[in-house]
């Protein structure tokens, strides 16, 4: 395999500056449909079966937020840190559905500002807050959280060991990491597959890892992985839908390169090279996991 590239935070932010999912596009979709923004709730921002122009910048939309929340044991008293929160879609959904407090962190200043606008618009600013910056560089709140949450965001972060270590410090005892991310399901078998995988990673500005690597990283930092689910078919389903919507003119302003990336993503999912997974892990006392493993 070719040596992986490194992506700067500037390149990652550029990817989202012109992204299909932006405040302006979401509000336009609602205005076109309802004629007014009066009385809208988080669910108006989060759900749109026709065009997929929502604040949910991950696979599976609101359903996956609910499923992941159930696995992570989220309720009204749960304090959540959403790392790579984007437009704050998951954060607001969690607050709206469960009444819990969520603090979102995102690299993109533009996305943080749009996230705050959308949060005020649906009246959730007492429960949902945002902080701009690279999670590996900024000081996170000093209070401890019950759940560190991430959907389709940690794939952009190369040093996952450092990331998990930092998140561990922000978690209470028995706190959970709740993750849904794209992953590498198998290595490429020839040059063509290698090139395709490199092109997709390049388009996504991402660092794909296998599920075994994720599990090992968490275990080595005393987390017990108690939920592991392969959600890869949903990734293929979303790409098929987006390609159909763009070809049918339902979603417009999609660059040719974005459409090509969807086609490439679909091909790599079909070949079983790229996938999507859910993983939930509980924080154990430091060293407990290895002690248990040694005793077993
Ligand atoms: C695909 S979006 C997912 C957004 C959100 N989790 C959601 O599900 O709607 C990935 C987000 O990760 C953010 N991100 C990437 N690298 C980051 C970093 N080092 N620190 C904080 N956020 C980061 C990006 O700015 C982007 O908004």
CA distance linking residue 242 with residue 44, whole number of Å: 20
Cβ-contact 126, 59 below 8 angstroms: no
For residue 125, what pLDDT is reported?
98
Taking all residues of the chain, what is their mean pLDDT, rounded to a whole number?
Answer: 94
For residue 296, what pLDDT is reported?
44
* pLDDT tens, residue by residue, 147-162: 999 999 999 999 999 9
CB atoms within 10 A of CB 75: 10
CA 252 to ligand 1 center in whole angstroms: 23
For residue 4, what pLDDT is reported?
67
Residue 255 has pLDDT above 90, yes or no: no
* pLDDT tens, residue by residue, 105-128: 999 999 999 999 999 999 999 999
What confidence tier does 286 reach under pLDDT thresholds 50, 70, 90? confident
* pLDDT tens, residue by residue, 186-198: 999 999 999 999 9
List residues near ligand 1 (CB under 6 A).
Answer: 12, 16, 56-58, 84-86, 89-90, 105-108, 111, 134-136, 151-153, 156-157
CA 64 to ligand 1 center in whole angstroms: 17
Classify strands 171-184 and 274-283 as parallel, antiparallel or unpaired: antiparallel
Q: What residue segments make up the domains of the chain, in order of their start?
A: 9-182+210-249+275-295
Q: Which of left, alpha, beta for 195 (phi over 0: left; psi -120 to 50: alpha)?
A: alpha
Residue 165 has pLDDT above 70, yes or no: yes
Choice between 46 and 2, residue whose per-residue pLDDT is larger: 46
For residue 91, what pLDDT is reported?
98
Looking at domain 9-182+210-249+275-295, its CATH class is alpha beta
Q: Tell me the pTM.
A: 0.94
Residue 144 has pLDDT above 70, yes or no: yes
């Amino acid at each position: 395999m070719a040596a992986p590239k490194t992506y700067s935070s500037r390149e990652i932010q550029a990817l989202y500056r012109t992204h299909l999912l932006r405040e302006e596009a979401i509000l336009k979709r609602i205005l076109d449909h309802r004629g007014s923004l009066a009385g809208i709730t988080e669910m108006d921002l989060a759900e749109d079966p026709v065009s997929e122009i929502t604040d949910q910048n991950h696979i599976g939309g609101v359903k996956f937020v609910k499923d992941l929340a159930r696995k992570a044991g989220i309720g009204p008293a749960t304090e959540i840190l959403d790392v790579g929160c984007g437009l704050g879609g998951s954060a607001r959904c969690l607050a709206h559905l469960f009444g819990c407090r969520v603090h979102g962190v995102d690299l993109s200043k533009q996305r943080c500002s749009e996230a705050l606008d959308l949060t005020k618009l649906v009246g959730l600013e007492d429960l949902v807050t945002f902080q701009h910056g690279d999670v590996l560089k900024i000081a996170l709140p000093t209070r401890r959280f019950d759940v560190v949450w991430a959907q389709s965001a940690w794939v952009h972060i190369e040093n996952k060991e450092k990331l998990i270590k930092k998140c561990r410090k922000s978690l209470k005892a028995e706190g959970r990491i709740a993750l849904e991310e794209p992953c590498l399901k198998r290595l490429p078998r020839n040059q063509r597959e290698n090139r395709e995988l490199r092109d997709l990673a390049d388009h996504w500005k991402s660092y794909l890892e296998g599920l075994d690597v994720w599990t090992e990283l968490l275990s080595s930092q005393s987390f017990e992985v108690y939920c592991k689910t392969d959600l890869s078919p949903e990734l293929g389903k979303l790409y098929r839908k987006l390609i159909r919507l763009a070809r049918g003119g339902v979603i417009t302003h999609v660059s040719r390169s974005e459409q090509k990336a969807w086609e490439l993503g679909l091909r790599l999912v079909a070949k079983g090279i790229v996938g999507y997974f859910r993983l939930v892990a509980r924080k154990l006392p430091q060293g407990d996991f290895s002690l248990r493993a040694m005793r077993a």
